[in-house]
Amino acid sequence: MDDRSAGKETQTDYLSYLVRLWRDTDNRTCWRASLKSPHTGDLVGFANVDDLFAFLRGQTGLEPSADNAQNEVQWRERGK
């Protein structure tokens, strides 16, 4: 995730994240999601599960990263 956040595109053979899913309080049919890197503490949030999967496809090279960037909600560094 460090390389990606620095604007560098790299291919890796291993990724790990802590995944959190929760229902939107205003729209109970909508699920929100976040991923946290256990290595860097970086956190990315998603408005829905489709955006989460699009991000993961981009991280694994299964989807172009340009499409992936449109789905990403935000990156936050640990402690901010």
The label of the residue with tokens 């256990």 reads 38
Residue with the larger pLDDT of the pair 76 and 31: 31
Q: Is residue 20 scored above 50 in pLDDT?
A: yes
* 35-71 per-position pLDDT tens digit: 999 999 999 999 999 999 999 999 998 875 554 454 4
Average pLDDT value for the chain: 77
Global pTM value: 0.64
Tell me, what's the pLDDT at 48? 94
* 60-69 per-position pLDDT tens digit: 988 755 544 5
Rounded CA separation 58/52 (Å) = 10
Q: Residue 32 CB: number of other CB atoms within 10 A?
A: 19
Helix, strand, coil fractions of the chain, as percent rounded to 5 = 30, 25, 50
Rounded CA separation 49/14 (Å) = 22
Element (H, E) at 22: strand 18-23
Strand partners, 35: 19, 44
